[in-house]
Amino acid sequence: MTGPVIAGAPGAGALTLGRWAASVQDVPLIVAVVHPAPAALGSGRVDAEWVADRHSAAESILDDARKVLSGSPAEYRSVASSSAAHGLHDLAEEVGASLIVVGSGKDAPRERLYPGSTAERLLSGSICPIAVAPAELSPAPGSLGVIGVAYVDTPDGRAALAEAARLAARTGARLRLYTVVATGDAAKPFLIGQDAERAFLETARETYERSLESAAASVPACDADWRIVPGDVVDTLADLDEVDVLFCGSRGYGPARRVLLGGVSARLIRRARRPVVVVPRSG
């Protein structure tokens, strides 16, 4: 993660998280707002006036972002594109961004994630990790001293662990790995009898323990621990409030080095209390 961090405006949560991420990684921060580009055909006077109005609105948003960041070093860009997601994606490729940070949707409950269309489109094909921040980010990132990872021993899980470990080492935060184990009938619904179900859960837990111990040992530069938590995967991870940020992998198939949401991560980003970073596969 050596390229600049892009924070999409508006959104105080995204700006705050972007500033923190850029600061701890010692990389530049680019604050970007995307406005409509002129139509390729039949732009006409009305369309030109509308585009000019949208450009003026984008500049106003950047002015508001400067106030939120209170003089923190940042480059401010107004980008013309056919969509906000497309504009941020193109900018990320242009500058070799290490992270794109976007805010939750405008209708999100306070301090809960509920990504708008920009976030969802970015998450379906970005070449770099995408962070989604709640509209109101409290407590501030870095104040809890824990970087979380939703971990399973898959290429996606290991990619998320690697990115989280780099950030934890950089900040001196504790790295905490979470594996959620389903309980009751959710674990193995086709098994009949409590004894069989209990045996399955015990075997699964032993497997997860070995996997987590090995994963924690693989990042010696970090102070790492791990937890196995019973419950529904999405509900349990979404309710975590003890981490500065939670890393998770994208789904287990699709183009390498691109984020392609799976069932867990897609639901998680809509409901998590704390910022979530979805990491593309390494290859």
Domain range for 243 is 144-283
Handedness of CA 52, 14, 178, 114 (dihedral sign): negative
Residue 133 shares a structural domain with residue 221: no
Write down the pLDDT at residue 257: 44
Residue 148 shares a structural domain with residue 283: yes
Residue 117 shares a structural domain with residue 157: no
Residue 283 shares a structural domain with residue 160: yes
Ramachandran angles phi, psi of 135, nearest 5°: -60, -40
Residue 172 shares a structural domain with residue 123: no
Residue 63 shares a structural domain with residue 170: no
Count: domains in the chain: 2
Using H for helix, E for strand and C for coil, what is the string for the chain? CCCCEEEECCCHHHHHHHHHHHHHHCCCEEEEEEEECCCCCCCHHHHHHHHHHHHHHHHHHHHHHHHHHCCCCCEEEEEEECCHHHHHHHHHHHHCCCEEEEEECCCCCCCCCCECHHHHHHHCCCCCCEEEECCCCCCCCCCCCEEEEECCCCHHHHHHHHHHHHHHHHHCCEEEEEEEECCHHHCCCCCCCHHHHHHHHHHHHHHHHHHHHHHHHCCCCCCEEEEEEECCHHHHHHCCCCCCEEEEECCCCCCCCCCCCCHHHHHHHHHCCCCEEEECCCC
Per-residue pLDDT at 113 exceeds 50: no
The more confidently predicted of residues 56 and 115 is 56
Residue 122 shares a structural domain with residue 24: yes
* Structural domain ending residue among the three candidates 141, 164, 181: 141
The more confidently predicted of residues 111 and 238 is 238
* Structural domain ending residue among the three candidates 124, 141, 158: 141
Residue 92 shares a structural domain with residue 17: yes
pLDDT tens digits along 202-259? 777 788 899 999 999 999 889 999 999 888 888 899 899 999 999 998 764 344 444 4
Per-residue pLDDT at 262 exceeds 70: no
Residue 103 shares a structural domain with residue 163: no
Residue 14 shares a structural domain with residue 127: yes
Per-residue pLDDT at 46 exceeds 60: no
